[in-house]
Copies of this chain bind each other. A is one copy, B any other.
Amino acid sequence: MFMNCRTLSLSDLSSSLSDDASVRVAYKGAPGSFSEAAALKAYPLCEAVPCDEFEAAFRAVELWLVNKAVLPIESSVGGSVHRNYDLLLRHRLHIVGEVQMAVHHCLLGLPGVQIEEIKRVLSHPQAITQCEIELNKLSVVKESVEDTAAAAQFVASNDLRDTGAIASARAATLYGLNILAENIEDESDNITRFLILAREPVIPGTDRPFKTSIVFTLEEGPGVLFKALAVFALRDISLTKIESRPQRKRPLRVVGNSGNGSAKYFDYLFYIDFEASMAEQRAQNALGHLQEFAPFLRVLGCYPMDTYL
């Protein structure tokens, strides 16, 4: 129908659904949290659905209660969140998109309150860590809550004049708080990368830049990782991320005897993101090649790259 015709917009670039408004996206936190902002960046017209925990967001997708979930996976300050990679491995959702966002923290307080009156500050533990320098200057008591936006909500709904919240500017608007200080994060280039997850994979194309995320293991030995990277390099495929991770559940393995008793080594999981679509033959060939010698290999998803920060 003519009325459903739309011109291409930003949302088309980040969404594979034709009608944004019908998409429900689960995120951990309360309205005004950074995960909600990531959901709205990916799907500007979506209904963002708050969840208590990441696990709940995964379950909500699996049980068809929502269409997507958004998950913070790495930040330029804190590094990769291994715990959230574990969730990806434990569940069977597919990565269908990514969102990169510059995270700016504000100190929020009740209207009329001066910054000198703030005696304690609430926020998510990570936000508290990211604003350590500014908070130490204020010499306030720091209290952890589930989420940045929940902190703002708590200050507002309990009318706490001596309490501030570290949260987004949007949280200030949503909960009727004032911004007492802006950009209080220690590192000004605080980029967080979020993944968008769904029950069904995106059918990758070659019409725009795609990225593929994989996880795999390798037999121990010198040069095995080199061999693994060869499958990409020999096909001119660029990597945007590589990370080795000591494997959970069996972090230690006793090998050999080097004279000083038994040495103990980690086994590893490897995370790689590469710049190619699984619709390309070279990506198919690379993964086929990798599978020849990787005891475990899983494609977490193939999805359009986020090229807008």
Question: Chain A interface (Cβ within 8 Å of chain B)?
Answer: 13, 75-83, 125-126, 128-129, 141-145, 187, 189, 191, 208-209, 221-223, 225-227, 229-230, 232-233, 236-246, 248-249, 251-252, 258-266, 305, 307-309
Assuming the A-B contacts A125-B128, A208-B258, are A189 and B237 also in contact, with contact meaning beta carbons closer than 8 angstroms in the complex? no
A262 to B305, CA, bound (A): 12
Q: Give the oligomeric copy count.
A: 2
Give the distance to chain B from A162, nearest Cβ to Cβ, in Å.
Answer: 15
Give the distance to chain B from A135, nearest Cβ to Cβ, in Å.
Answer: 9
Assuming the A-B contacts A260-B307, A309-B252, are A240 and B226 also in contact, with contact meaning beta carbons closer than 8 angstroms in the complex? no
Known contacts A191-B246, A263-B305; 17 additional CB pairs below 8 A are A76-B82, A76-B246, A78-B79, A78-B82, A79-B79, A79-B80, A79-B245, A125-B128, A143-B143, A189-B248, A189-B249, A189-B251, A208-B260, A209-B258, A222-B233, A222-B237, A243-B243
Assuming the A-B contacts A125-B144, A144-B143, A229-B225, are A208 and B243 also in contact, with contact meaning beta carbons closer than 8 angstroms in the complex? no
A223 with B236: CB separation less than 8 A: yes
Highest count of chain B CB atoms <10 Å: which of A189, A260, A305: A260
A226 with B222: CB separation less than 8 A: no
A223 to B245, CA, bound (A): 22
Q: Which chain B residues lie closer than 8 Å to A239 at the CB level?
A: 225, 244
B260 with A13: CB separation less than 8 A: yes
A238 to B261, CA, bound (A): 20
Give the distance to chain B from A116, nearest Cβ to Cβ, in Å.
Answer: 21
Assuming the A-B contacts A13-B260, A78-B83, A125-B144, are A226 and B223 also in contact, with contact meaning beta carbons closer than 8 angstroms in the complex? no
A79 to B305, CA, bound (A): 24
Mind listing 29 A-B residue pairs with CB under 8 Å? Answer: A76-B251, A78-B79, A78-B81, A79-B79, A79-B80, A79-B245, A125-B125, A125-B144, A126-B129, A141-B143, A143-B143, A143-B144, A144-B144, A189-B248, A189-B249, A208-B259, A209-B263, A222-B232, A222-B238, A223-B233, A225-B242, A226-B226, A226-B232, A227-B233, A239-B244, A242-B243, A252-B309, A261-B307, A264-B308
